[in-house]
Amino acid sequence: MSEQDKVFIFDTTLRDGEQSPGATMSHAEKLEIAGLLDEMGVDIIEAGFPIASEGDFAAVKAISEQAKTSVICGLARANLKDIDRCWEAVKHAKQPRIHTFIGTSPLHRAIPDLTMDEMADRIHETVTHARNLCDNVQWSPMDATRTEEDYLCRTVEIAIKAGATTINIPDTVGYTAPRESAALIQMLLERVPGADEIIFATHCHNDLGMATANSLAAVEAGARQVECTINGLGERAGNTALEEVVMALKVRNDIMPYRTGIDSTKLMNISRRVASVSGFAVQFNKAIVGKNAFAHESGIHQDGMLKNAETFEIMRPADVGLSETNIVMGKHSGRAALRSKLAELGFDLGDNQLKDVFVRFKALADQKKEVYDEDLIALMQTGDAEEDHIKLTALKVSCGMGLEKSAEMTLEIDGVAKSVSATGDGPVDAAFNAVKSLFPHTARLQLYQVAAVTEGTDAQATVSVRLEEDGKIATGQSADVDTVVASVKAYVNALNRLVVRREKAGGDKAEVSYKDVS
């Protein structure tokens, strides 16, 4: 295969993905995810939107400094201040990129109230400015799929002439269908002078469930960069899922002869980490990375699988990094066994981290006879982060038929231990009331969901909690063999994320809105 067949993978989990309501990640989490993306072979990482807040700026800068091989990109609206701020953050990368955009469709043009000519001038000015700062400039006509073709060609030509090296064609509202997605790229390649000298990218949202199909159709028509996120994280119904694109190109290389530089055996691990840090659990039947993606329930399927795995599997679990061995851990398992088991599951731990996880593993093994892979994954996805403001340190609940439901709790809030006793309609309600009394807040509980990690009455419960405060959403997750403990930890986890969001909003330098281009 030649260079022509290489499809660049542009991951925007940390920018477009993080924009999904409730998916806020901490600085340390963003750095960790960026490191995993880099290691997996992602070509370009969109690390954030530097003008959006001090926190975003700091994250993009730190990711730029740590990146080994990936190009690091920051987003900027079509104004000089945004672009300068973006450059200040990405210039520390070995390979920086500025990504600037403006909404070109009639609906989007109406918001800044620019005429077609005024917008064309703005594109020329901003792309030229970006290119004077950085050799690697990406330009996006937002809502391209609802932009008049003639105007789209005109703006793309201006951006190319001004120095853009990648032109991204976003289906911002997930409106397009695969045939149209392909036709649009083909049309641009045929009509725009200079189109053969730049890379066309495809950026699809999943509102109609066609994002991955639309991205692949664009590739077949000539796009050579796919923009995507881990687990398809993103606004509304999300974005094209990175794992789907990578595995579709790998498994169906016979009809789509393109290659990516992604090490697919790292997919499962990064999917789990993103689910954990974003608080967005992966649906069980999600392609490639869902819990059931390689599970076989029906007798016919199980029988076929035992005779020949290819009867019902088009890829091997190991191809995406799923372990095939099934060594069950227990309370007699030692540190070395835990380290090797976790490495097999994709978690490479340093000595200090292992020490902490080992203590929690022993506590779990004391409560559960057998600790399955799923239990270990849940264990890795929970636990206090050093930067957490609120930590649960003690909890005792009392409940039963005809009895008052109460909770005695101690929380450590910014290092200070505080205790209270509270009552409620049930043990979880009482415990949540205790949290509210120790850490008063106005956030509303939007979702409370409990699921068992494995089978059996000694199974760990994973709990998801979603809170809303002044339009800001934060989700939290936790797992424990005690459902009430898991519930409180998930609630506290969501509160910690909300605190981060509050800090982020407070630190904003600019009132960021996609409508505001100037």
Annotated binding site: 16, 203, 205, 239
Output the known binding site for Mn(2+).
Answer: 16, 203, 205, 239
Q: Which is nearer to Zn ion, 16 or 29 (CB)?
A: 16
Q: How far is the CB of 13 from Zn ion (least distance, A)?
A: 12
DSSP 213: H
Q: Which one among 11, 16, 29, 468 touches Zn ion, defined by CB under 5 A?
A: 16
Q: Which is nearer to ligand KIV, 234 or 346 (CB)?
A: 234
Q: Which one among 64, 126, 140, 462 touches ligand KIV, defined by CB under 6 A?
A: 140
What is the side-by-side order of every strand in the sheet holding 444-452? 444-452, 461-469, 472-480
| Residue 484, binding choice from ligand KIV, Zn ion, none, Cβ under 5 to 8 Å by partner class | none
Q: Which one among 16, 29, 56, 243 touches ligand KIV, defined by CB under 6 A?
A: 16
| Residue 460, binding choice from Zn ion, ligand KIV, none, Cβ under 5 to 8 Å by partner class | none
| Residue 286, binding choice from Zn ion, ligand KIV, none, Cβ under 5 to 8 Å by partner class | none
Q: What distance in Å separates the CA atoms of residue 164 and residue 238, rounded to the nearest whole number?
A: 26
139 beta partners: 100, 167
| Residue 468, binding choice from Zn ion, ligand KIV, none, Cβ under 5 to 8 Å by partner class | none
Q: What distance in Å separates the CA atoms of residue 276 and residue 36, rounded to the nearest whole number?
A: 14
Q: Which is nearer to ligand KIV, 203 or 273 (CB)?
A: 203
CA atoms within 13 A on the CB side of 448: 13
Q: How far is the CB of 142 from ligand KIV (least distance, A)?
A: 4
Q: How far is the CB of 376 from ligand KIV (least distance, A)?
A: 35
3-state secondary structure 408-452: EEEEEECCEEEEEEEEECCHHHHHHHHHHHHCCCCCEEEEEEEEE
DSSP 404: P
Residue 143 touching Zn ion (CB under 5 A): no
Region of residue 170 (left: phi > 0; alpha: psi -120 to 50; beta: else): beta
Question: Distance between alpha carbon 137 and the CA centroid of its chain, in Å?
Answer: 24
What is the side-by-side order of every strand in the sheet holding 390-398? 390-398, 405-413, 416-424
Q: Which is nearer to Zn ion, 101 or 432 (CB)?
A: 101
In 53-194, DSSP assigns E strands to 71-77, 96-103, 137-142, 166-171
Q: What distance in Å separates the CA atoms of residue 59 and residue 64, rounded to the nearest whole number?
A: 8
- One character per residue 150-179, x = contact with ligand KIV (rule: CB under 6 A): ------------------x-x-x-------
CB-based contacts of 210: which residues, under 8 Å, 6+ apart? 174, 176, 177, 178, 204
Q: How far is the CB of 227 from Zn ion (least distance, A)?
A: 7
Residue 18 touching ligand KIV (CB under 6 A): no
CB-based contacts of 261: which residues, under 8 Å, 6+ apart? 6, 9, 41, 43
Q: How far is the CB of 211 from ligand KIV (least distance, A)?
A: 11
Q: How far is the CB of 18 from Zn ion (least distance, A)?
A: 12
The angle that helices 178-191 and 211-221 make with each other, rounded to 10 degrees, is: 30
* Binding residues among 464-493 for ligand KIV as defined by CB under 6 A: none
Q: Which one among 87, 101, 139, 432 touches ligand KIV, defined by CB under 6 A?
A: 101
Q: Which one among 142, 219, 377, 431 touches ligand KIV, defined by CB under 6 A?
A: 142
Question: Which of 16-24, 394-402, 423-431, 439-447 is the region at the interface with Zn ion (rule: CB under 5 A)?
Answer: 16-24
Q: How far is the CB of 140 from ligand KIV (least distance, A)?
A: 4
Q: How far is the CB of 238 from ligand KIV (least distance, A)?
A: 11
DSSP secondary structure letters along 444-488:
EEEEEEEEESSSSTTPPEEEEEEEEETTEEEEEEEEESSHHHHHH
Binding residues for Zn ion (CB under 5 A): 16
Binding residues for ligand KIV (CB under 6 A): 16, 101, 140, 142, 168, 170, 172, 203, 205
